[in-house]
């Protein structure tokens, strides 16, 4: 294992062992759940959005270290971002997971998840929280139009 792979592995394990923003927000503006029935990974995201900014986000979940670490990393990455910035980050993450872009240092811990690409069966584990966030942002946008 290369030194870079080892670093990525350590970042993922750190987020798995000590998840950030874990829990459920009381009275969230939007809450969504994502589930992968093939492996049993489950993620619930709850968000507060103020003036189009994700002011707080939490997750509850169960599943493999990759799905849970990805949710932890996601919450740190999108907290304080506008919904448009969060959507752009989702697009960047998905492109990284498809191998279409090379991640940059500005992605922070998100970059550690690129190593998952070496194990195609695990990519869905890493994507679960991100697709759940996308669904949550879509729900929020629809609620603002009503």
The residue assigned the tokens 């619930």 is 44
39-92 pLDDT, tens digit per residue, is: 899 999 999 999 999 999 999 999 999 999 999 999 999 999 999 999 999 999
Nearest-angstrom CA–CA distance, 45 and 87: 15
Sign of the C-alpha dihedral computed for residues 66, 29, 50 and 53 taken in this order: positive
Q: What pLDDT score was predicted for residue 103?
A: 73
pLDDT interval class at 102 (50, 70, 90): confident
- DSSP annotation of 52: T
Q: What is the pLDDT averaged over residues 4-28?
A: 90
Pairing of β 53-62 and β 41-50: antiparallel
CB 30 within 8 A of CB 136: yes
Domain ranges of the chain: 3-145
Tell me the fold of 3-145: Sufe protein. Chain: A (3.90.1010)
User: Is the pTM of the predicted complex or chain greater than 0.85?
Assistant: yes
- DSSP annotation of 127: H
């Amino acid at each position: 294992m290369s030194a870079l792979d080892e670093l990525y592995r350590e970042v993922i394990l750190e987020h798995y062992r000590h998840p950030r923003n874990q829990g459920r927000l009381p009275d969230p503006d939007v809450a969504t759940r994502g589930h992968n029935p093939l492996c049993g990974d489950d993620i619930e995201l709850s968000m507060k959005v103020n003036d189009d900014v994700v002011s707080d986000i939490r997750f509850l979940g169960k599943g493999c270290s990759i799905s849970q670490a990805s949710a932890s990393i996601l919450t740190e990455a999108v907290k304080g971002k506008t919904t448009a910035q969060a959507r752009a980050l989702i697009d960047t993450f998905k492109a990284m997971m498809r191998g279409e872009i090379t991640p940059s240092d500005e992605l922070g811990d998100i970059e550690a998840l690129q190593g998952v690409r070496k194990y195609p069966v695990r990519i869905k584990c890493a994507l679960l929280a991100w697709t759940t966030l996308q669904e949550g942002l879509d729900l929020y946008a629809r609620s603002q139009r009503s």
